[in-house]
Structure 1
């Protein structure tokens, strides 16, 4: 296959034309069966493999949400959301299916009630006029910890976001 190398991702070879140090995510859409999609984030690379699948890539340090859902004849079998920070060269990372090489995992939840709550919190952040990809990574860790413990997470606020932006502007 021209344009691809022999390493594999989601059953497909990885594209050779992706920018260096890009975190690649294999997305699939099969109506009523499989949905792997990006909920938020800003891909810098995209390549269509076929009518049901494509690969998107994220620059180091960018944050994105990867939603996976699947069903069979008996109902939903997978419902999960992962929020990751794309890693730079040589950084340690957690590996995930369909994500190469992996990422800094900020949130990892499964089960529709928890996934739905994260999607609602994402909508709330957007309602503030804030891109969820720009929200403080610590907030996504907070949401992960609280929902894992069965406790309602605090809402993200404009003040919290401004504090994150100020901190980020002085961090190396």
Structure 2
């Protein structure tokens, strides 16, 4: 459904081990909105985070675990935070942790926009 955030894992291996490790956080968009095409995602989605390489993917999984430890569903996290994580990891910097305060601010902003 439009506005829904979800994770998309792509992984492949051969006889020698992992050959592809990729994780994307995507935002479902409405009809007529610009999209990036992904296999098995119709019609496509807005990309919030796109990471490849097992070490980076593993790091994102750790960040997701930390969000879940706060009692927050990662699908409800502010889209801006996923973009922040993407940008920081691409720059080889540590992303800021997500907090209950930031989440409350996101929920308030989302309520005002609807």
Which range, TM-score by smaller chain? over 0.9
1:147 maps onto 2:89 in alignment: yes
Shift of 1:101: 1.1
Q: CA RMSD in A?
A: 0.8
The C-alpha deviation readout for 1:142-162, integer Å capped at 9, x for no partner, is: 000000111111100000000
For the pair 1:84 / 2:16, whether they are aligned, the reply is no
Deviation, structure 1 residue 78: 0.5
Structure that is richer in strand per residue: 1
Larger RCO: Structure 1 or Structure 2 (Cα < 8 Å, ≥ 6 residues apart)?
Answer: 2
Whole-Å Cα distance in 2 between the matches of residues 95 and 60 of structure 1? 15
Provide, for residues 54-106 of structure 1, a one-character-per-residue CA deviation record: whole Å limited to 9, x for no partner: xxxxx111000011111000110110001000011111111122322110100
Name the SS for the 2:25 alignment partner.
Answer: strand
Equivalent in the alignment of 2:108: 166
Moved over 4 A (4+): none
Which structure shows the higher helix fraction? 2
Larger Rg: 1
Q: Aligned pair count?
A: 114
**5+ unaligned residues in a row in structure 1: which ranges?**
1-58
